[in-house]
Chains A and B, each alone.
Chain A
Amino acid sequence: MSYVLKALKTAYGHKPVLDISELVVHKGEILGLVGANGSGKSTLLRHLAFLEKPNSGELLYEGLSSDTIPLAIKRDIGILLPEPYLLKRTVKENLLFGLRIRGEERDAQKRLEEALDLVGLLPKKFLPRAWHELSSGETQRVALASRLVLRPKTLLLDEPTNSLDYSGIPQFTDAILHANKEWGTTIVIASHDLLWLSEIATRKVGLHFGRLMDFSTTNLIVGKWRESGDERFFDFDDTQSMSLPKSYRIGEKRGVAINPRDIFIASTLFTCKEDEVALNGVIRDVLHLTKTNEISIKVIIGAHVLECIEPFEVFDAHRFYPAQNVYVHFKKSAIKVPSKEG
């Protein structure tokens, strides 16, 4: 195991930002972190890079705690920040920086060229360039190359595709996969690009207000609930709503989450049981998740989008298509309310 996190808590002042009861990152895996802005993804990555310390709890990297980990082991971890910062030097000097720090200048030229090749930049053209002569996409690639040149055991990537255009993403993806396959690098990626993350990650975890969800929480329903009788209602539109007993402590900002794998789709309405919710909507997009051979179907209901993930075989039997009018249904027990206690 690369990382083991237990009862890890961090707050900025009085505002809790991370509250993770347990998380294990396995060696050689590509872990995707998903979650809304402010969910704690970047903070978690900075903790994993030992750039920030948690207020309490345990963070072990290869069995070593943040207090006892030696510098040499810390140097095995590379992190790419969301807005990469290049040192005020040439591309060559930027790539050499980490190697010099580690005293690994032997075969440096070969390694620099290999790293630039990996990110799709021509070494002859880019090595002599100064930091201010690069576009934001090139800066992003050089920043990744400056980490790849070190052949890190662990690579933490925070919104790595931010500055890249569509043509730059495949090369960037290949570079990350190369590190994972050739050097066995453990990779943790925080990204809003769920499509890209689905392609590259071997596992995804969701973060919601600093807490881990055991699935990719794309179905976070945040907003106002109205009270009526013994229940609270959430209105998807003027005619459709779902309800939960008042005993559920729903925070408007924290919202509720529904596992996409607990949601089912049908083309016709059927009789709903009391403990079930059925909603009418229109399919926005259908996506094949190649890693798990599942199909992600996103359905627009009023102003909200619900994602349903089905095994390919189930989808194959129905063949839903975008713009199709469908009914989604799920059990009320599938609605998870993130509690304050986690």
Chain B
Amino acid sequence: MDFILSGLIEAFWLLIRFDPETISAIDITLRSSTLSIIFSLAIGLPLGFCLGFFSFPGRKALKLLSDTLLAVPTVVVGLIVYAFISHRGPFGEYELLYTLTGIVIGQTLLALPIIVSLSATAVEGMDKKLYLTLSSFGLTTFQMIQSVVWELRHGLIAVAVAAYGRVIAEVGIAMMIGGNIKWFTRTITTAISLETNKGEFAMGIALGLVLMSIAFILNFLLYFLKKRARITV
């Protein structure tokens, strides 16, 4: 028990005095996950909206595909991205393996099905009365899209928060694509994994505390947004 207690005390010290190695892992994690969420939202939200809003042939098959991709393990995403960006892969010449950019690509692909599938579900589940009400104002297609997105804003932000939670806590992609290189691609999760293997519990616990704090904030946000979305129904 002593090593856990002493690890916990040391972890607080690491955080209080801004230990550079700990801060570096936090910084890389926040940068990679934030960038990947921005990219996946930019691609996924319009796709999810179209999938949920418009009727077209093959829509159900696409929805089924995006729902299935929700369950893909991070190591499988890591494996696929690895195959494409390693030296032998089609994008090998860009030297993306073991870089932050590589991690961002992998995490973007991880978040994409979450955003597409959940935002499509949110749009699909839109109250018919909302659609009829907006239609009755005589909106152009662009005005309609703009208004629907605004009306579903709480649900869509909740989708982004859920995807962010998944990305920030993943370890498979960061490990396989980033390579866990100190100061460059070592994220919170890969650092915890490594430090624990080395028997360095203090840094592991410190980083674990940070990750749990982020998870708590995200879950609080989700709870708040879901409550807000419920009021609006």
A97 to chain B: which residues have CB within 8 Å? 137, 147
| A-contacting 9-mer, from B75-83, B138-146, B176-184, B203-211 | B138-146
Kindly state whether residue A317 has any CB partner on chain B within 8 Å. Answer: no
Query: Which chain A residues lie closer than 8 Å to B132 at the CB level?
Result: 46, 51, 81, 85
Q: Does A303 sit within 8 A of B, measured CB to CB? A: no
Q: How far, in whole Å, are A201 and B231 apart by their CA atoms in the complex? A: 37
Q: Which residue of B136, B139, B140, B231 is within 8 Å of A78 (Cβ)?
A: B136
Q: Which of B124-169 contact A (CB under 8 A)?
A: 127, 129-130, 132-133, 135-140, 143, 147, 151, 153-154
Q: Does A87 touch B at the CB level, under 8 Å?
A: yes
User: Does B197 interact with chain A (Cβ within 8 Å)?
Assistant: no
Q: Does B232 contact A (CB under 8 A)?
A: yes
Q: For A131, give its contact among B127, B143, B232 (CB under 8 Å).
A: B232
The 8 Å CB contact of A75, one of B129, B137, B232, is B137
> Looking at chain A, what size class is its interface with the partner chain?
20 to 34
A71 B138 Cβ-Cβ under 8 A: yes
A85 touches B138 (CB 8 A): no
- With A71-B138, A75-B138 as known contacts, state yes or no: A85 contacts B232, CB within 8 Å: no
Query: How far is it, in angstroms, between the C-alpha of A78 and the C-alpha of B132 when the chains are bound?
Result: 12
User: Is A88 an interface residue, CB under 8 A from the partner?
Assistant: yes
- Contact present for B130 and A85 (CB under 8 Å): yes
Given contacts A51-B135, A71-B138, A101-B139, contact A132 B129 (CB under 8 A): no
Contact between A85 and B129, CB atoms less than 8 A apart: yes
Q: Is the CB of A51 within 8 A of B139?
A: no
Indicate if the CB atoms of A101 and B130 lie closer than 8 Å. Answer: no
Closest residue of chain A to B136, judged by CB?
A79
- In the docked arrangement, what's the CA distance between A75 and B130, Å? 17
A77–B136 alpha-carbon span in the complex (Å): 8
Contact of B129 among A71, A81, A98 (CB under 8 A): A81
Q: Given A75-B137, A81-B133, do A88 and B143 touch, yes or no (CB 8 Å)?
A: no
B-contacting residues of A (Cβ < 8 Å)? 46, 49, 51, 71, 74-75, 77-79, 81, 83-85, 87-88, 97-98, 101, 131-132
A–B complex contacts, Cβ < 8 Å, 7 sampled:
A51-B135, A77-B138, A78-B136, A79-B136, A88-B153, A101-B138, A101-B139
Known: A77-B138, A84-B133, A98-B137. 4 other contacts (CB 8 A): A101-B138, A101-B139, A131-B232, A132-B232
